[in-house]
Amino acid sequence: MVVSTQLVLSLITVAVAFLLVFFVYQKRKISTSALVGTLGMGVLILLLLGLDYGYIGLLTLLTFFLFGNLVTSYKYEKKFALGIAEAHRGMRDIHNVVGNGLSPLIFAVLFAVSSEYQELLFLLGFSGAVATATADTFSTEIGQGHGTPRLITTLKRVPAGTNGGVSLPGFGAAVLGSALIAVVSLLFLGSRAITYLGTLFFTVCLVAGLLGSLIDSILSATVEDRDPLSLNKHHVNILATLSGGVIAMLLGASLGM
């Protein structure tokens, strides 16, 4: 019986992801609801993207999951003293999982029902959504640990933790987070990752992640916790990650990808 390389890689990725998620759960970085939601979403992504791409999608989400939890601990005591740190030592719950994972799941569904000529664009949308989530998490958790931010809509100085506050360190962190996902997402291209197409894919994913995180800041400054919509941060995350994915697809289509 011949076992395909993709199947072996899928099994290895699933095993590693399962162990790491449970390790983070044991460290009380995620709640029980987040554990169930994370594992469930991982299984869905694996099935929707199929044998060829499922393990790469899972690896992309796992990269966000691990590094997102790591940066939450960055200067935590300082953020806690300022009253802006994530509650319960940064423990994530099911709302965090849905807020950051729903959009990639939507693009995975669209990939599953698309024709082979559209597959690359939906993989790009998936990558752009995850890049947005990572860029926003890095920007928030690292940016809040440095200096006084400015409100993105007026550029006036505001206290750390203000919705829509941005800073230069935060922007640099967003670049780092988006680039991290852009690199991992190159695996979707296989051997084509080292061609001109790979350069385009990386650049589009990076830019989409940055623009998506800026949209998150704009929405946070204008509609989050405000009437009449009263959107919370998780709603804003969904809209921003959707925007990042759509931007990635539009950029990719305009470049003939």
pLDDT at residue 162 is higher than 60: yes
| The pair of three-digit structure tokens given for residue 218, joined into one six-digit string | 């704009």
CB atoms within 10 A of CB 120: 20
β-strand partners of 92 = 30
> At CB < 8 A and 24+ separation, what contacts does 186-192 make?
187/56, 187/59, 188/53, 188/56, 188/120, 188/123, 188/127
| The pair of three-digit structure tokens given for residue 46, joined into one six-digit string | 């694996």
Q: Cα 114 to chain center, whole Å?
A: 22
In whole angstroms, give the CA distance from residue 141 to residue 160.
11
Per-residue pLDDT reduced to its tens digit, 201-257? 999 999 999 999 999 999 999 998 887 877 899 999 999 999 999 999 999 999 988
Give the predicted TM-score (pTM) of the model: 0.92
In whole angstroms, give the CA distance from residue 58 to residue 44.
9
Domain range list for the chain: 5-254
Across the range 86-113, mean pLDDT stands at 86
Per-residue pLDDT reduced to its tens digit, 40-96? 999 999 999 998 999 999 999 999 998 988 887 776 666 566 555 555 555 788 998
Q: Which of 147, 110, 146 is nearest to 125 (CA)?
A: 110
